[in-house]
Chains A and B, each alone.
Chain A
């Protein structure tokens, strides 16, 4: 069992959390101006790095808040967690 440190509640077991995909994917400023290809890029295409990856997580069985986490996709180590709206911190993997 892995512990995930919720920025509000502290370390909790991962069964309390839900995964929300890549973080910092901004909604298009003018969605109606997008071509089909650009819309597909926004909806379906995500990074798939080997290394640190900023992701959204929800502490769904606890405080029910969304937050962001930087996870190393090679080791599953959580390098940093930060609250929604805060900038992504510098991480060293």
Chain B
């Protein structure tokens, strides 16, 4: 018998829900995440077709699509580094498939699912709240939908995805998640949330 897992923000569900409507915050825990290091263009293409989602060719973007593993996102983290994000519980299968696609090319596929948890932020004030602790220009003209940056939010390293007009996805290290939740609660106070 396996114990039920506890997500990093399990204790914050109610407090984060109380930030609505200024900010709608929801954790999406346990997603499968794999860090892929690969630079060979053939291997990148093979991995993309194995997932059904082409790897993002442009820095600071992500690609999304559906394939044999359901809805999958591939995030650009560096010139030869990507993060594959898929629904929970698929990390072992995806790791095998990606290793097969890598073949004899130089690179690595590592399961990092436990490293980060996912927080989805939406609402009319989402850019204002993020601007309290993030120096990246998030105006739609410079950060359109599809943007994916690694940066600091309130001194915490995050991966920030722009997934819609007023929708952002934040991947934060599990041990920093509660700090970030507390910071978000505080940053929302001036937008009509009871402190």
Contacts and interface: CB of A to CB of B under 8 A. Distances in A.
Nearest to A83: B79
B149 to A, nearest CB: 7
Contacts, number: 39
Interface residues of B, number: 14
Bin chain A's interface residue count: 10 to 19
A63 B150 contact: yes
Contacts of A38: none
Contact of A65 (B79, B149, B151): B79
Nearest to B136: A12
B79 A8 contact: yes
A64 B78 contact: yes
B78 A65 contact: yes
Contacts of B149: 9, 62
Interface in A2-58: 8-10, 12-13, 15-16
A63 B56 CA distance: 15
Given A61-B150, A62-B151, A9 B79 contact: no
A1 interface: yes
A13 B137 CA distance: 11
Interface in A54-86: 61-65
Given A8-B59, A10-B60, A63 B77 contact: yes
A75 B23 CA distance: 42
A63 B59 contact: yes
B45 interface: no
16 contacts: A1-B135, A8-B60, A8-B79, A9-B59, A9-B150, A10-B60, A12-B151, A13-B135, A13-B152, A15-B152, A62-B150, A63-B79, A63-B150, A64-B78, A64-B150, A65-B78
